[in-house]
Amino acid sequence: MKRNSLILITCVCMLGMASAQDVTGSGTAYTVPPFTTKLYDDFNHEFLSPALWNTFCYASNVSLECAVEIQDGQLRLARRIPGQKNSNAGSQVGVTTASFSNPASIKSITTDLVVRDIRESPCTANPSYGGNAGIVATFFNAGSGDPSDDVGAQLLLGRAFSDPPGQLTVLGQFFQNGVYTYFFLGNVSLGTPVTVTLTWDKPNHQFLTNWTNDLTHVTTQGTMPYSFSDTTPAANPTKNLQADTLPSNCTAAQTWVYVESVFDNVYVGR
């Protein structure tokens, strides 16, 4: 089991206390369920289509820079927020999101992704979670029908100040009721173009992760099995392309985290 200094816990519509477990992801090749996969958006137009996307920026503290825009034929998501200065415990959450319209039927999402920049003004007394970007999706409900019982998964690239310079960690996670189980999927350099896929494999009660380094053409697959009942539709079946900042609270210095990422060639499976 490999532990990394970065545990990525992101905002998924509802914010609250979250815990995490570290589980090494399986590298075993798998068979993807037979979906009908189509191009959803290639961003080769001036503005985002309201028929395809809803966008928002969230901050648990003061909101600073936030960008959700098409730039040079790609979707650019950027975010920066500060930490609070009244404590050396906990962190704040800043999110910028492009959310899929009519997401309930989506079972798989593929996108090209480049994390261009993650910068952080850190706190020695309270190291932060840093920042990340990737796919965040809610797929089903564990049975109660309550939104807090929704189950989803994430495929994220991120880093914290304590990580080696220029290194991103690739993680898969699934979540339910504020508990996150995460799977280490490898490392890649900041600025590297990758193609990522997150899939709900309902017949085998697992989530599938797939990421390809588009420079080396090396592909890493992972499986994230779960034990929840998965027959109840999600109360809030959101599917997002997302960038998150998680600056720590710090009494000694003003902390902040900045994330900039671009997405392209989004495909969905239904």
Phi, psi at 176, each rounded to 5°: -160, 125
State residue 132's pLDDT score.
98
Structure tokens at 181: 């189980």
Domain ranges for the chain, please list them.
21-269
Res 27: pLDDT: 52
How, if at all, do strands 218-225 and 150-159 pair? unpaired
Say what the pLDDT of residue 4 is: 35
The CATH code of the domain at 21-269 is 2.60.120.200
Which tens digit of pLDDT belongs to each residue from 217-237?
999 999 999 999 999 999 999
Q: Mean pLDDT of successive 10-residue segments in the chain (270 residues)?
A: 40 35 51 86 97 96 95 98 95 97 97 97 89 98 96 97 94 95 96 98 97 97 96 98 97 96 98
Q: What confidence score (pLDDT) does residue 39 get?
A: 98
pLDDT for the residue numbered 20:
37
Whether residue 268 contacts residue 127, with contact meaning beta carbons closer than 8 Å, is answered with no
pLDDT for 7 equals 44
pTM of structure: 0.89
Cα–Cα distance measured from residue 46 to residue 261, given in angstroms and rounded to the nearest whole number: 18
Cα of 89 vs its chain's centroid, Å? 23
What pLDDT, on the 0 to 100 scale, is given for residue 26?
A: 47
- 158 in Cβ contact with 133 (< 8 Å): yes
Q: What confidence score (pLDDT) does residue 25 get?
A: 47
